[in-house]
């Protein structure tokens, strides 16, 4: 039973780590576009905004199968969490529970910021309401208390910041999974050490009993 549980846990961990690493790879591929907007003190050249806008429009207009693949990968990660949290141990509750929370936060960031932002960018209407009654990517409040929609440059910066936040969240998932592996490995080593010490004490007791038994028989004779 223990081996079976370990096998299920390893397979479920594989289902979690692969989608998480997959999305981290996608975010890393966007880093050259986001870098001039957020990660340098030099003035951002205007062409950097244009290049990122064109790239995001291209992604948004990609074939439907791309969206289906992304949704399938997201579902694969959730399936891995559900497998590990079925009849959970204390380790699962602590590490996998926290990992699942971060994973759900990542999904919320993806849906609320990135998907909506790509719709804004694809429409090209930064200062108006989106299609189907959705609000723009983000707003800024002026002194009068009114909310003014962000322009193109600020919307693209919000998209770049969302990618960074999502990357940190996903790295947190990987750190928690690595922490769980390390904790379980140390626990296994301690259990094995305890069992070896217990077995050694049992052998010493049996040898001591053997040494005492001949002397006792001599006294009887």
Contact partners, residue 126, CB within 8 Å, separation at least 6: 120, 136, 137, 149, 150, 151, 152, 155
Q: Give tens-digit pLDDT for 15-41.
A: 999 999 999 999 999 999 999 999 988
Mean pLDDT of the chain: 82
Q: How confident is the model at residue 42 (pLDDT cuts 50, 70, 90)?
A: confident
> What does the CA dihedral 98, 103, 106, 107 come to, rounded to 10 degrees?
-140
Give first-to-last CA distance, the chain, whole Å.
Answer: 53
Q: How confident is the model at residue 176 (pLDDT cuts 50, 70, 90)?
A: very high
Three-class DSSP category at 141: strand
Nearest in space to 179 (alpha carbons), one of 58, 69, 98: 98
User: Using an 8 Å Cβ cutoff, are 16 and 24 in contact?
Assistant: no
What is the total residue count of the chain?
A: 221
Cα distances (angstroms) measured from residue 84 to each of 6, 99, 104, 187: 10, 11, 16, 18
Contact partners, residue 140, CB within 8 Å, separation at least 6: 147, 148, 150, 154
Q: Give tens-digit pLDDT for 83-113.
A: 988 877 777 788 989 999 999 999 999 999 9
């Amino acid at each position: 039973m223990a081996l079976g549980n370990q096998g299920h846990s390893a397979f479920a961990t594989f289902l979690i780590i692969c989608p998480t690493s997959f999305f981290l790879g996608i975010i890393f591929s966007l880093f050259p576009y986001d870098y001039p907007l957020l990660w340098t003190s030099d003035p951002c050249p205007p062409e950097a905004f244009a290049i990122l806008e064109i790239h995001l429009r291209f992604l948004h207009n990609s074939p439907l199968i791309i969206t289906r693949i992304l949704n399938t990968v997201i579902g694969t990660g959730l399936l891995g969490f559900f497998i590990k949290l079925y009849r959970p141990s204390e380790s699962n509750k602590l590490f996998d529970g926290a990992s699942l929370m971060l994973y759900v936060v990542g999904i919320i960031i993806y849906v609320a910021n990135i998907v909506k932002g790509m719709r804004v960018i694809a429409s090209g209407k930064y200062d108006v309401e989106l299609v189907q009654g959705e609000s723009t990517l983000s707003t800024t409040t002026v002194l009068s208390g009114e909310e003014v929609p962000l322009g193109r440059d600020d919307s693209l910066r919000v998209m770049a910041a969302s990618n960074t936040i999502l990357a940190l969240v996903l790295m947190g998932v990987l750190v928690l999974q690595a922490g769980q592996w390390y904790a379980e490995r140390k626990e296994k080593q301690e259990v094995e050490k305890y069992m070896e010490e217990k077995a050694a004490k049992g052998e010493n007791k049996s040898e001591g009993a053997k040494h005492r038994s001949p002397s006792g028989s001599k006294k009887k004779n």
